[in-house]
Structure 1
Amino acid sequence: MRVILCPVDFSENSLKALEYAAAIAAQTQTKLFILNKFTLTGGEKVESSDSIFDESKEEAEDKLNELRNIILTEYKDLQVDVSVTYGIEPSQVILDFAEDIKADLIVMGTKGAGGFKEIFFGTTTTSVTSKASVPVLAFPVAAKPHLPKSIVYATDLKWEDRAVLHPLWNFTISLDAQLTFLYVAKGEEKGVDAIRNEMESSEGFNRIKTTLKVHFAEVKSNDVFGAIQDYANETNAGLIVLGNHEKNYLEKLRKGDLTRLMTMYTEVPLLILHKSK
């Protein structure tokens, strides 16, 4: 990784996500970008030349520079840049900025869906997760901003899941963490041993196996979301990883449902890796 983007709106969950992003950036020696999409009080419609626009932008810049100074107090050698932008749709602003700076990872806070509107339309984090072409890490407000020592990758290890093995390996080894492949079985589906045998012929898995100590685990449940959460909590996992792509075994109801649910309700930091990357 070379660049991590962390959007903040100065809420508690976004600031905790920033703390987590800074820790990852320091561990991986990666540049950190902090982005704020500022808003105008009272809903005024203004042009970029208006004084209220300038005042709002300057206020956001001052807050970002203060955050930057706090981070550099703890991580003196970390490269930290800040940027303020004004836009209508938060998720699109984030995605456009991520593309401009060629971000390798987006870290965002998530506090869960609080009502019908958020459940129906989705939060900004779920929107970014569903549209981004780079990995997105959702950090729940209740989590501790500590680097993970144990990572759980929930998958059935089918062919399409092999596309995420390289970024999974890179992320795990960069954080010096242990890796567990978790298989959630429903009914009489094939067991984890058969799954493991199928995967061992993959070049990506061979790289993982020769450089990391990998564990395999299987749980039987009709509730895939609950099973992943329970396993992560029971084993004190610091990070859950999902592969987001078409025909994912974990997307049982419709494409993207599990990823959406996990992003909104996860109690453990969640990393979404995309097939295209």
Structure 2
Amino acid sequence: MFIYNLNKKIMKTILVPTDFSSNANNALKYANAFAQATNNKIVLLHTHIPILGNYNRIPGIVAEENERVKIESQKKLEKLCNKYVEGPSDYFVSVGDTILDVPKKIKFNLIIMGTHGATGLSRILFGSNTSGVISKSTVPVLAIPQRYRFRKIETIVYASDLKNTFNELKYIIPIAKQLDATIEILNLNYEYGNTDDENQVIERKIKSLSYKKIRFIEKEATLARSIAEQLKKYLVKHKPEILVMFPEEKSWFSKIFTSSKTEYLANQLKVPLLSIRKTIVQQK
């Protein structure tokens, strides 16, 4: 069940879920700055999952409770939009659906969300934790670490396994163009120095692209350290504004997108993490 205030004009839209926590507010402030930089619209979302119990068997009580929550949540969303959003914005309340259900009903181009929320986040806000949303969402997700503040996006690091690089770049280049940012294709190579011919092919393809602010960086990887640790070393040194990854099942990247490891990347590395599932690319 959705209550929303959306105009019919087609434009790129950023969905920002909130549980009204301080971290969700921080993600909204980031989303506002991102939307201003990319000329996008923000739609603020609050979801309510009714608590299961004996009283739920009484339809009248359930309906009354849902209506109360909708009215209160709409007032809070309106206040948040007025306080934190400078550009075009709308809001809606979802009852009985999780964030993963929303893109199936209303089209969004990007989800921006905090990596942590208030107590009960997994049930009240998303129906799963941040890692679960990232691993299952059919829409790209930008996860914002706690207390991270937006700053001009100059460098986007794209961690690539080189299996589908140039199809995946099609999803990053439009964002980079809007921000006039450099894309660094970062490959952690476990056979460092043995792929000169492949690297030359990649370099030629990069030069043939219309967007010129792209460079390829290969780093020697080691099995003695985790992928996350090796990414951390690079990111701490180079300080990009966004890390992009394309997770898929049964890949070496998938190890990072389980349990709390996604939140480790976004929080401990203190870098916003843009996740675009490989299945999204493959379906296009």
What is the TM-score with the length of structure 2 in the denominator? 0.77
Which residue pairs with 2:183 in the alignment?
Answer: 179
Displacement after TM superposition at 1:226 (Å)? 0.8
Which residue pairs with 1:156 in the alignment?
Answer: 161
Separation in structure 2 between the aligned mates of residue 192 and residue 70 of structure 1, nearest angstrom: 52
Which residue pairs with 1:214 in the alignment?
Answer: 215
Mark the runs of 5 or more structure 2 residues left unpaired by the alignment. 1-10
Displacement after TM superposition at 1:21 (Å)? 1.4
One-letter code aligned to 2:215: V
Separation in structure 2 between the aligned mates of residue 41 and residue 157 of structure 1, nearest angstrom: 45
One-letter code aligned to 2:208: N
Secondary structure in 1 aligned to 2:96? coil
One-letter code aligned to 1:263: T
**Is 1:94–2:99 an aligned residue pair?**
yes
Which residue pairs with 1:231 in the alignment?
Answer: 234
Secondary structure in 2 aligned to 1:95? coil
Separation in structure 1 between the aligned mates of residue 276 and residue 207 of structure 2, nearest angstrom: 16
Mark the runs of 5 or more structure 1 residues left unpaired by the alignment. none
Query: What is the CA deviation profile of residues 201-258 of structure 1, one whole-angstrom value per residue up to 9, with x for unaligned ones?
Result: 65x87326x431425242433321111122112111111111123554x43xxxx221
Separation in structure 1 between the aligned mates of residue 133 and residue 229 of structure 2, nearest angstrom: 23
Q: Is the 8 A contact 2:28 2:84 kept in 1?
A: no
Q: Is the 8 A contact 2:143 2:272 kept in 1?
A: yes
Q: 1:22 aligns with which of 26, 32, 52?
A: 32
Displacement after TM superposition at 1:99 (Å)? 2.8
Residues 1:84 and 1:176: Cα distance change in structure 2 (over 3 Å): same
Which residue pairs with 1:263 in the alignment?
Answer: 262
Residues 1:52 and 1:198: Cα distance change in structure 2 (over 3 Å): same
Query: What is the CA deviation profile of residues 137-174 of structure 1, one whole-angstrom value per residue up to 9, with x for unaligned ones?
Result: 1111142233422111111322x233211011111121
Q: 1:61 aligns with which of 70, 74, 89?
A: 74
Separation in structure 2 between the aligned mates of residue 191 and residue 151 of structure 1, nearest angstrom: 26
Q: 1:80 aligns with which of 66, 84, 89?
A: 89
Secondary structure in 1 aligned to 2:243? strand
Secondary structure in 2 aligned to 1:226? helix
Superposition CA RMSD, Å: 3.0
Figure out how many residues of one structure are paired with residues of the other and give that number.
254
Residues 1:85 and 1:215: Cα distance change in structure 2 (over 3 Å): same
One-letter code aligned to 2:40: T
Secondary structure in 2 aligned to 1:69? helix
> Which 10-residue stretch deviates more, 52-61 or 35-44?
35-44
Percent identical: 30
**Is 1:107–2:116 an aligned residue pair?**
no
Secondary structure in 2 aligned to 1:148? coil
What is the TM-score with the length of structure 1 in the denominator? 0.79
Q: 1:243 aligns with which of 246, 249, 254?
A: 246
